[in-house]
Structure 1
Amino acid sequence: MPPSAHVSASLDDNNETWVSINAWLEGQDKGSVVYLALGSEKLVGSSKSFELPDRFEEQVKERGIVWKGWAPQLKILSHDSVGGFSTHCCWNSTVEGIMFGLPLIILPFLVDQGLNARVLKNNRAEIEVPRNEEDRSYTSDSVAKSVRLIMVEHIGMKYRDRDKELSVIFGDRKLHDLYLENSNV
């Protein structure tokens, strides 16, 4: 079922987490923010969580914020300053991003994420960040080029438009309920 477009019930507007994040979002231009969410998964075969490069938070503090704990994703995605969504391509996050009409910049890592990426690519609904051919890693250059393509370049307009079209379908609770009522499951 698609999440409700009315997201205030999921988190109180006075919650300290939301207040901090919202204060930063309010200072940004409409559609200028790329929200990056990589989920809460651990590295495969390791008990170690994903680590940011040394001094990363210090280097980006004027241009962005790093939030290491739980974040109110629906509230962030629904904010007017957010114009793109970079995700690891789990299905819930993917549906939420499309529901709000945001172009997706995807970085699939494991499990069903690659399959979800293929479904989206077949429907022209996202840009997948290219991997380094030698070790299959993502490079900072490939991420930057993909973000620029979606957010700035004219060619990215087709993705931005497509996700706005899909948001009408993905965010339609009545359509979803009708489908469930009429399915022969």
Structure 2
Amino acid sequence: MGSLKDDSISVIMVPFPAQGHLNQMLQLSCLISSCGIPVHYAGSPVFNRQARLRVNSLNPSDVKKINFQDLSFQSFASPAPVPDPSKKFPGHLQPAWDAAMSMAAPLGDLMRSLALKHRRVVVIHDPIIASVVKDVATIPNAESYAFNCLSAYCQIKLLFEMMGIFCPIQRLRELPPISDTISQELYSFIRLQDEGMALRSGDIINTSRSIEAPFLDILESKEVAGDMKSWAIGPMIPTKPSVKPRHQILDWMDKQPSKSVIFVSFGTTTSLTNDEVQVVAEGLERSGQKFIWVLREADKTNVFDGEARRIELPAGFEEMVKERGVVMREWAPQPEILAHPSTGGFMSHCGWNSCNESIKMGVPIAAWPMHSDQPINAVLVTEVLKVGLPVRRWGEVVTAEMVEDAVRRLIASEEGDEIRKRAEEMAAVVRGATEEGGASRLEMDAFIAHITRP
């Protein structure tokens, strides 16, 4: 995308305050800003700080060009996460989501002040928080777009469920309803966003037509979208991510054979119980394979608020596996780890960010979904795209045998080699889609052309 330097347009990004959403919105901010358009990333001081602190794989000089707008935001409680084997959904984050609704007035003020200086103000918001941008309707030179941080496959499930219409994909009908994989509070909260969603002029989707074309066709069909425009621009993660200074874990990886390491990480919103930690540890130890395991407590609503629980490993575990395994307790440079030649697989919760990174880097997934869109993404990855295998089916309790089996199959079997080959082929297609002239890049160019139209 050539830089146009178009100051007559201004873009405001309104992320949903949860790490996976903050991250994708910041990636999109950098893409838009690279076209010479001023971008304002609007949120509470805490979440803006979190987004800046965890700029996974983005170029710091690109992030510096973004105008972070700290909006006044109702104060919110920051309870510790509750590790629960049956309910993995991070309901402890709800206070921040409720408080985010207080952004509506300061966001309206920001829109109005920019509308006086620019020919057009473009507001891009997360669908889950659409109602905070409702003032867009009162500003003649402002328009809004929803940015979907979900796979198209998952969006079909969610939309058809919420609209109460028959889902055309049988496999999705067999999966648990979204209302079972999130909290009742969040489900009700999403229902409150209809008014804001009704104001939007189009949808941006963080997926690629080269992998999700049939599902995008359903989302763009007349009965679902009406005349709504949409642009599939993903995955936005850079192909060659680089963190400066280089993280020391990559030095350890340099010494490992090609495709020999399984990377184990369950995202920022999942707390493992002590029993589950025991199960993962035992499974990794028994698999005999090399691994990097990111073992962190789930985020609090305010990630800067006090110490997180230190998760106890089985006695002697780290000593026993020190020749072939590393346990990381701090923030890990996930895209860099996935892009490293020694990585042969990824045991993941299947959040859409992680799936996108894995798909773009050509790393097959051992799927262990925990909540929300993850069970649906797990089926997309393992059954539809066939670039992974399940650690567990939805509803199953994971045992050490299941972990051991999944790791061995993925890293050290012919079946794993086949899956890895497919993952690498798909990565080449997806990378092509995001490069000059590729499907995703053309749609991004079309979106920029649309918002900068005369």
TM-score (norm 2): 0.36
3-state DSSP class of the match of 1:66? strand
CA shift at 1:96, angstroms?
A: 0.6
- CA RMSD between the two structures: 2.6
Identify which of 28, 42, 50 aligns with 2:256.
28
CA distance in 1, matches of 2:356, 2:401: 27
C-alpha deviation, 1:6, in angstroms:
2.2
Are 1:110 and 2:368 matched, yes or no?
A: no
Q: CA offsets, 1:20-62, max 9 Å, x none?
A: x122112211111111111122439x98869454223333222
- Partner SS, residue 62 of structure 1: coil
1:43 and 1:50 in contact (8 A); partners too: no
Does residue 127 in structure 1 map to residue 389 in structure 2?
yes
Equivalence for 2:240? 6
The residue type paired with residue 29 of structure 1 is P
Q: Give unmatched runs, 5+ long, in structure 2.
A: 1-233, 273-297, 301-307
- The Cα shift of 1:81 comes to 1.1
2:429 is equivalent to residue 169 of structure 1 = yes
TM-fit CA distance, 1:93: 0.8
* 2-structure distance, mates of 1:59, 1:70: 24
Percentage of pairs with the same residue: 30
Q: Is the 8 A contact 2:367 2:392 kept in 1?
A: no
CA distance in 1, matches of 2:250, 2:377: 30
Cα distance in structure 1, aligned partners of 2:401 and 2:372: 25
Query: For residue 406 of structure 2, what is the amino acid of its counterpart?
Result: S
Partners of 2:261 and 2:442 in 1: how far apart?
A: 34
Distance (Å, rounded) in 1 between the aligned partners of 2:267 and 2:310: 10
- Distance, in Å, in 1 between the alignment partners of 2:388 and 2:326 is 24
Instruction: For 1:68-79, list aligned pairs within 5 A.
Output: 68-79=329-340
Contact 1:42 1:50 in 2 (8 A): no
Letter in 2 for 1:128: P
Q: Aligned equivalents of 1:50 and 1:102: distance in 2? A: 29
Matched residue count: 175
TM superposition score normalised by structure 1: 0.82
Range that drifts further, 85-94 or 175-184: 175-184
Offset of residue 144 of structure 1: 1.1
Question: What residue number does 1:151 align with?
Answer: 411
Contact 2:240-2:339 at 8 Å conserved across structures: no
Q: Is the 8 A contact 1:3 1:171 kept in 2?
A: no
SS class of match (1:35): strand
Structure 2 distance, partners of 1:43, 1:6, is: 30
Q: Which has the higher contact order (CA 8 A, sep 6+)?
A: 1
CA deviation map 1:111-170 (0-9, x unaligned): 110010111222212101135x9x722111111111111211112232111111110232
From 35, 40, 43, the counterpart of 2:271: 43
Distance (whole Å) between structure 1 residues aligned to residue 371 and residue 309 of structure 2: 15
Q: Greater CA radius of gyration, 1 or 2? A: 2
- The aligned amino acid for 2:271 is L
Partner of 1:83: helix, strand, or coil? strand
Report the 3-state secondary structure (helix = DSSP H, G, I; strand = E; otherwise coil) of the residue aligned with 1:74: helix
Higher strand share: 2
Between 1:168-177 and 1:92-101, the stretch displaced more is 168-177
CA contact (8 A) 1:95 1:170 kept: no
